Amino acid sequence: MILASGFFEDLFRGVLQGTPPGAVYALIALGFVLTYKTSGVFNLAFGAQAYISAAMYFKVHSVWGWPKWAALLVSVFVLAPLVGLVLERAIFRHLRTASAVSKLVVTIGLSVALPEIFNWAARFSAVAGRQITGIVPDGAGVYYDPFGIYRFNRDELAMMAVALAGTLLLAALFRFTMMGLSMRAVVESPRMTELSGVNANRVSAFAWALSSTFAGMAGVLIAPRFNSLSSGDYFTLVIIAVAAAATGLLISLPRALLGGLGLGWFIAVFNTFLPGLADDHTWLRPFQENLTPSLPFVVLFAILVLWRAVGRQREASDPLAGVDPPPPALAALERHPKLTMFTRLFGVFFVTVVGLVVWFRADVLWMSLVTKAVIIALIYLSVTVITGMGGQISLCQGTFAAIGGFTVFQMADRFNMSVLAAALIGAALAAVVGALLSLPVLRLGGVWLAIATLAFAFFFDAVMVKFSWVGGGSTALLTGTQVPRPLIGPIDFASDRAFLVLAVVALVVVSVVVIQLREGTIGRTLAALRGSEVAAASIGISAARARIVAFAVSAAIAGLGGALLAMHQQNVNYALNFAPIVALFWLVVVVALGSRTVEGAIQAGAAFALFEPLILQGELLGWIVRGEERLPEFFPLSGNWRLILFGLMAMQFARHPEGLVEHGKRRSATRINGWLEAREARA
């Protein structure tokens, strides 16, 4: 086909070129919408489910040498629905009436744990460079060129065909069948559905099996596009596909298909024309270099923030929610006064003993680990403010921490400024960024806020870090983002002990600030907003102001923590400490253990920093059995166990959405209260 001008030909080629990646986004977006529509879960573990089937397909076909149809049968039509059924039965059934935040945290945990569990159970590890072969014969080798300007291979055509057929079939399922209607009803209110005589459990089990099968299908179809299988790639794809799913408000399948294709076209056309423009206008070049990898996140952020319908969408509430018991008060408020006193004394005793042991006995490694735990606990307090008090979920706390870290690096590097002053500037800068970010995103409800903040984190990761005035640019690649330790008069914090004291002081100060905030006007306002935004508004509370303050304070705390962490490690270590995935990890740990209290944050910080050396490397057991040589042979455990245990923790959290530490406290408080009361009654 000959087109009149080069421009239109380029445009058309861009569109054709964008179609295969567009079909990838569309497939994932369709599955994502399917899961959301049938289970009400904003399933960030969708990519993990897709990965499992793809890896199984690879194992069965390429490793065991079974024929393709058998591999497809095993991986997509047996394993995938099975995974869906297990997830429903073990986890999501208990979360049906849970908050959006709890569901999201569980899916984040699963997105990390599922691939690890599969890799461990199937002894699977992807070998780089060994590509997966697609499901159609000679899929990557046979090309079709319908328009004479761009060639599609068979794998790509299969993907597009399945995306289209999937849209039609699923749309028909929802429109014409009783099962489709029941699945939508269960999402809104399982109890009302039961009152219509429908077995809600069976419906949601079917829904999970179906959406998991779709995930598996998408995973296998997409796999040939990757050089090697990695669950991280699938996770990133899901975040991108959320942009496509958002165009249909997560409920419209045809719009998810068009949204996915549109995203593919937009990116391809953008990449077709921008290099040419950047050649003519040199000022465009840095944008061209930095924007391209992050374009999907920019699009996602723009859709969420600019498209008003997303902001207005609220989850339909269950009219029978009143059947659920109200969330219990904090266990600490119900404890017997004697128990409270004993707990405090024991707390002081425990902290003193740990402090003394660390001070006198710890070697360099342990000193450093404990310091890290203290600083991570400080960063976790930022989650306590935004999630524990505000009831909102932010997935860019790592970015705020990175802003703190980079500010210290830049100020010290360029102006030779005192790092402590720079840390305060970094915290202030993070607060400003947090407040600015909160303006457009705060009117988004529940999960949308989470996704907008995640898009921001990925955008910062892909674009901002690469600027020399943020991440140090090419010089940082050579010398690293070095940060000196602080120096106040005669006290040199280059000594690890002195720095630990500094970190503890900072943690105490921030804890006091957080407690003051919680007990003060802002805290009460946030508590009221958590209860009911409408009721709060009707007594004259401004939601916006309290939330902007909470966001800014939370960002400042994270920024300060990031600065301290950079000083501690004498390097910002962005990828290791603050990348979006690491921040997701943080969030799951602190929310699962307890985000409502200051102790929860401290315990979570300790767990995050010390779990691996203490438990997995067997230090604790070694101390108990006196001597490393007496440890069982399977120590030290592989680091992958950390990810699996992390997933198990997220699953446990599904049963106890108030936080695991809080759950344990309540259980023991109930028991001891009963015992104390019985004793008093006897006396």
Residues that bind another protein (CB under 8 A): 178, 181-182, 184-185, 188-201, 316-317, 319-320, 323-326, 328
If we measure between CA atoms, which residue out of 452, 434, 470, 466 comes closest to residue 299?
Answer: 452
CB of 126 to another protein, least distance (A): 40
Answer whether 637's CB lies under 8 Å from 616's CB: yes
| Separation of alpha carbons 126 and 119, rounded Å | 9
Pick 98 or 506: Cβ nearer another protein: 98
Min separation Cβ 317 and another protein, Å: 8
Cα→Cα distances 415→219, 431, 677, Å: 50, 22, 64
Q: CA-based diameter of the chain, in Å?
A: 100
> Shortest approach of another protein to residue 204 CB, angstroms?
10
Q: Which of 328/639 has CB closer to another protein? A: 328
Contact 105, 120 (CB under 8 A): no
Write down the least CB distance from residue 193 to another protein, Å: 7
CB of 205 vs another protein, minimal distance in Å: 11
Tell me the C-alpha to C-alpha distance, in Å, between residue 231 and each of 236, 281, 398, 627: 9, 39, 21, 38
Nearer to another protein, 85 or 428 (CB): 85
Which residue lies nearer to another protein by CB, 326 or 337?
326
C-alpha separations of 522 from 332, 541, 544 in Å: 22, 10, 11
Query: Nearest distance from residue 612's CB to another protein, in Å?
Result: 37
In the bound state with another protein, the residue whose beta carbon lies nearer, of 309 and 316, is 316
Q: Which residue has the tokens 């404990």?
A: 370
Work out the angle at residue 164's Cα, subtended by the Cα atoms of residues 158 and 166, and round it to the nearest 5 degrees: 95
For another protein, which is the closer residue by CB, 205 or 229? 205
Residue closer to another protein by CB (options 172, 316) is 316
Q: Cα–Cα distance between 380 and 372 in angstroms, integer?
A: 12
Task: Find the shortest distance in angstroms from Cβ 327 to another protein.
Answer: 8
Tally DSSP H helices, then E strands, for the chain: 31, 4
Q: Nearest distance from residue 667's CB to another protein, in Å?
A: 14
Query: DSSP string of 375-442?
Result: HHHHHHHHHIIIIIIT----S-HHHHHHHHHHHHHHHHHHH---HHHHHHHHHHHHHHHHHHHHHHHT
Between 10 and 194, name the residue whose CB sits nearer to another protein: 194
